């Protein structure tokens, strides 16, 4: 004889069922469960069911979701690829709220759904043994069942007696059903086989679909939309040109906005170039080509042109210019000073800053301190 899974006692009314619960419970025979045609108030308390942990799980996962979204967006916009969008600082948490909300809801709903189905309802175990009871039909109509279920063992005779004493009109004993394990090798093989066949079929279908309809590139409407190319004429704009001037104050990426600023603004700029041999070589070349004729090879204002030149080039070795900030030297190179022409057109951004480094090297070479010599 197979083992009993549950003993069902049937009652005629919800009242009778509720009254029977404490009596049967007192005997401590196994897990108590009720099956009724409709939900009955007070049943949870009568059975002393503990509160579902689902709410707590959802809360925890929701918080994790919010933090995940916050951290992810922080990493993207403040660390990995900081782009200034709409003038906002990279770390602008207010902008992250919509995504945080979405991910919170995503994590929470998935936890609620999957947690309920897989963890708490113990799927994929489809079907409860009690569903196969003969009394099931009556239970879904007008009868109320109290079941003593194996936990893990069940003394069927004692349970029968207990239910009878508590006033049950009919008693049914349910045997433990044979449970086949879910993940059999057969099941796994069939599933994998099914996936394989599905891939094969869809692969062939795609292959032939593309072969037969080669004139249909995907998303061509994005590619072929009307647009103006650079230098193209346009009837749309009043000046007849397709190209627009950038907004005033636009700064090209990778360039410092200094050439147009005031000397005070430029003074605050740090030299963006590192002090490497390549940078010094570049600075030396530019200085020799552009500055040495007037300022001399060591920058002391004694260039080959100086005698013939009406104005007196500055002695860059003077304390005054040794105290100049890098940005101030840079500004003079760009804008010139009185008789000295600006070199914005002759030297590009990098060359100018490299010259600044080189002028510093010249100054240090002539005014070396003790520690420079070590």
Give 90-97's long-range contacts (Cβ < 8 A, gap of 24+).
96/69, 96/70
Nearer to ligand HEC, 174 or 334 (CB): 334
- Phi first, then psi, for residue 16 (nearest 5°) are -60, -40
Which residue do the tokens 């049914």 mark?
A: 172
Nearer to ligand HEC, 25 or 337 (CB): 337
Interface contacts to ligand HEC, rule CB under 6 A: 290-291, 293-295, 311, 313-314, 316, 321, 329, 332-333, 337-341, 343, 355, 359
* In the complex, minimum distance from the CB of residue 276 to ligand HEC, in angstroms, rounded to a whole number: 19
Nearer to ligand HEC, 9 or 313 (CB): 313
Nearer to ligand HEC, 68 or 267 (CB): 267
* In the complex, minimum distance from the CB of residue 368 to ligand HEC, in angstroms, rounded to a whole number: 20
Nearer to ligand HEC, 61 or 286 (CB): 286
Q: Where are the alpha helices (DSSP H) in the chain?
A: 14-26, 43-47, 54-74, 97-114, 136-139, 156-165, 185-212, 220-223, 263-267, 277-290, 292-295, 319-322, 326-335, 349-366, 370-373
CB atoms within 10 A of CB 179: 8
Q: Residue 152 and residue 157: Cα distance in Å, rounded?
A: 16
Nearer to ligand HEC, 207 or 309 (CB): 309
- List residues bridging with 9 in a β-sheet: 146, 171
Which residue is closest to ligand HEC by CB? 291
Q: Residue 336 and residue 329: Cα distance in Å, rounded?
A: 10
């Amino acid at each position: 004889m197979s083992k009993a899974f549950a003993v069902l006692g049937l009652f005629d009314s919800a009242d009778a069922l509720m009254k029977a619960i404490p009596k049967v419970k007192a005997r401590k025979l196994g897990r108590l469960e009720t099956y009724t045609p409709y939900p009955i108030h007070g049943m949870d308390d009568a059975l002393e069911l503990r509160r579902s942990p689902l709410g707590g799980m959802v809360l925890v996962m929701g918080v994790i979701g919010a933090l995940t979204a916050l951290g992810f967006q922080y990493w993207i916009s403040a660390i990995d690829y900081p782009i200034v969008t709409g003038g906002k600082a990279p770390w602008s948490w207010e902008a992250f709220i919509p995504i945080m909300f979405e991910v919170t809801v995503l994590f929470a709903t998935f936890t609620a759904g999957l947690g309920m189905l897989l963890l708490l309802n113990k799927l994929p175990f489809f079907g409860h043994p009690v569903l196969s009871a003969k009394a099931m039909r009556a239970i879904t109509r007008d009868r109320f069942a109290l079941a003593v279920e194996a936990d893990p063992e069940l003394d069927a005779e004692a349970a029968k007696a207990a239910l009878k004493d508590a006033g049950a009109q009919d008693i049914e004993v349910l045997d433990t059903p044979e449970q086949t394990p879910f993940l059999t090798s057969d099941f796994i093989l069939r599933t994998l086989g099914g996936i394989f066949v599905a891939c094969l079929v869809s692969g062939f279908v795609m292959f032939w679909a593309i072969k037969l309809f080669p004139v249909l590139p995907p998303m061509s409407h994005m590619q072929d939309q009307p647009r103006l190319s650079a230098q193209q004429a346009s009837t749309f704009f009043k000046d007849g040109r397709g190209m627009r001037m950038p907004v005033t104050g636009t700064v090209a990426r990778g360039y410092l906005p200094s050439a147009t600023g005031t000397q005070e603004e430029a003074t605050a700029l740090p030299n963006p170039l590192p002090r490497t041999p390549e940078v010094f070589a570049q600075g030396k070349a530019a200085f020799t080509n552009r500055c040495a004729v007037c300022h001399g090879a060591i920058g002391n204002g004694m260039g080959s042109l100086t005698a013939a030149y009406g104005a007196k080039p500055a002695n860059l070795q003077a304390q005054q210019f040794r105290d100049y900030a890098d940005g101030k030297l840079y500004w003079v190179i760009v804008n010139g000073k009185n008789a000295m022409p600006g070199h914005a057109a002759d030297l590009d951004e990098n060359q100018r800053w490299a010259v600044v480094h080189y002028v510093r090297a010249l100054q240090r070479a002539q005014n070396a301190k003790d520690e420079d010599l070590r």
